[in-house]
Amino acid sequence: MEQQIQFELTKEFVDRFQQALDERDHAFIVECLQGVKAADISALLYEFNSEESKYVLDLLPLEVQAEIINDLDTDTRVKYLKVYQVNELIPIVDALHSDDVADILNELPVKEREEVLSGLNGELRTQVTELLRYEENVAGGLMAKELIKVRDHWTVVQCIDEIRKQAENVDKFYAVYVVNDRDVLVGRVSLKDLVLSDARKVVSDICERDITSVETYLSDLEVADIMRKYDLESVPVVNVQGQLVGRITIDDVVDVITEQAEEDRQLMSGISEDVEEDDSVWRNTRARLPWLLIGIVGGLMNAKFMGLFEAELSRITAIAFFIPLIQATGGNVGIQSSSLIVQSLANPGFVYDGLWTRLAKVFLVALLSGISLALLVYGANVLIFSEQKLSVIVSVALLSVVVFASFVGTITPLILNRFGFNPALASGPFITTTNDLLGLTVYFFTVHLML
C-alpha cells in the first residue's frame, strides 16, 4: 500500500488555491487534486463560492464530481445546484445511487426536478421516482433501491451467476436477499455462505430466515435504534405486503445518529432552527431570537413579581444580593435533572413504570445536594456578611429551590416525551426560564414568611 497521503487544509494552501482560481490556472488545480479523495475535495470547496467550486468540479472526472456533490451538506448543495444547468446535472446524478439521487432531487425546484428525472436512465428513473414518494425521515426515504436479490428456489451456481449480473450496480454489498416469486422477503444468504457452499444446493436450504426487516413507514430514529440494538450493518426494507423494496445501510444510520445528537444540542442550547455558524447573520439571529424572547418575557414577569415585595426589599437591600445565587442554582439543578432523564429515555430499555420510585430517588438526591449546599452557603454567609437571620432564610430558600427544580427538571422531559416531543427540549431555555420564576417565588415567599 502506498503511504496514505494526508491532505491537510492549511491557510497557505487555501490561499494558493484561491490564487489559482482567480487566475483560472487549471493546470495547477488538476495537478494538486490528482489522487485526492472526494471527501477531502469537498472539505476544500467549502472555502470557496459556488461559481469557483463549479469551475473546480468541471475539471474533475464525472464520478468524482458526483461523489463530491453527494458529500456536501444540504445547505451548501442547494447553493451549488443553482449554478448548474439541468443538462449538466443529469450525467452527474446518473452516476449516483438511487437514494442519493432522490435526496438531491428533493433539493431542486419542482420544474428542474422533473427535467432531471426525465433525463435519467430508465432503471434509475423508475427507482428514484418510487423513492421520491417517501418522506425523508422514514425508512422509505432512507433506503436505496440498489440491492442484490435472488429467488428462493435457485441453486447456488445460478445465484452466483445472477450476482455477477446485478453486482455492476451495487458497489458495496453486505448480504444477498432471498425472495419468493411474489418478491416477498424470505431471508438472507451471506456471500460467504454462497462461496463456501456446494454449488448445487438450493438457496432456500442455506439461507438465514430469522432476519430483522423494517417497514417503509418506520421513522429514521426507530430504524437507527433497531440497527444499533441488533448490531446490523444493513437492514432490508419491506412494504406492507412484505415485499422487498430496498435496503438501508449503517452509514446512512450514522448520519441519522449524528443529526439527532446535533438537534438535541440545539434544543438544549435554545436554537430554534437548524442553523450553522457559517449561515448568514440574519438567519443566525432569527434562529436565536425566539428562545431569547421567552427568557425576556420570563425576566419581565420576574421583575413584575418582585415588585410585590418592594417593601421588604427597600427595608433590607441585602435580600437582592442573593437573587443570582438562588437563580443560578435552580437553573443548574434543573438542567442536570432533565439531562439525566433525557439520557435514560434515549436508552432502548426505558420503562415508564416505577415513576414513583424514580421521583422518590430524585427527591433523595435533591435533599442530599440541597442540604450540603445550604449548610455551605449558611457558613459562607455568616462569615462574609455576618447577617444571621438573612443567612438562614437564604439557606432555607436554597434547599427548597434545589428540591423544586429537581422535580420540574425530572417531570418536564417525561411529559414532553409522552406527548411526542423531543425531550431534549426540556434541557434548554424552557427549564431555565421556568426555574428562574420558580426560584424567585420560593425565595421571596421564604423571605416573606420568615422575615
Q: Name every residue whose Cβ is closer than 8 Å to that of residue 212 and which is 6 or more positions away in sequence.
A: 226, 230, 232, 235
**Could you say which residues in the range 12-41 bind its own copies, by CB under 8 A?**
14, 35, 37, 39
Decide if 400 contacts 446 (C-beta within 8 A): yes
DSSP SS3 for 149: strand
**Could you say which residues in the range 349-408 bind its own copies, by CB under 8 A?**
349, 351, 353, 358, 361, 364-365, 368-369, 372-373, 376-377, 380-381, 384-385
Which is closer to its own copies, CB of 137 or CB of 266? 266
- Per CB under 8 A, does 230 bind its own copies? yes
Q: Give the gyration radius of the chain's Cα atoms.
A: 30
Least distance between its own copies and beta carbon 334 (Å): 9
User: With DSSP H G I counted as helix, E B as strand and the rest as coil, what are the percentages for the chain, rounded to 5?
Assistant: 65, 5, 25
- Per CB under 8 A, does 250 bind its own copies? yes
Which is closer to its own copies, CB of 31 or CB of 222? 222
Which is closer to its own copies, CB of 12 or CB of 27? 12
What CA–CA distances, in Å, run from 175 to 127, 193, 208, 312? Answer: 20, 10, 11, 75
- Per CB under 8 A, does 249 bind its own copies? yes
- Residue 155 gets which letter from DSSP? B
Alpha helices in 174-268 (DSSP H): 191-196, 203-206, 220-229, 250-268
Which is closer to its own copies, CB of 86 or CB of 346? 346
- Per CB under 8 A, does 57 bind its own copies? no
Least distance between its own copies and beta carbon 190 (Å): 8
Which is closer to its own copies, CB of 88 or CB of 296? 296
**Could you say which residues in the range 133-172 bind its own copies, by CB under 8 A?**
160, 163-164, 167, 172
Comparing CA positions, the residue from 343, 339, 140, 349 lying closest to residue 229 is 349
* Position 169, amino acid: N
- Per CB under 8 A, does 415 bind its own copies? no
- Per CB under 8 A, does 8 bind its own copies? no
- Per CB under 8 A, does 90 bind its own copies? no
**Could you say which residues in the range 296-325 bind its own copies, by CB under 8 A?**
296, 298-300, 302-304, 306-307, 310, 313-314, 317-325
- Per CB under 8 A, does 233 bind its own copies? yes
Comparing CA positions, the residue from 163, 232, 151, 219 lying closest to residue 191 is 163
Least distance between its own copies and beta carbon 45 (Å): 9
- Per CB under 8 A, does 343 bind its own copies? yes
What CA–CA distances, in Å, run from 337 to 128, 311, 365, 432? Answer: 45, 35, 10, 12
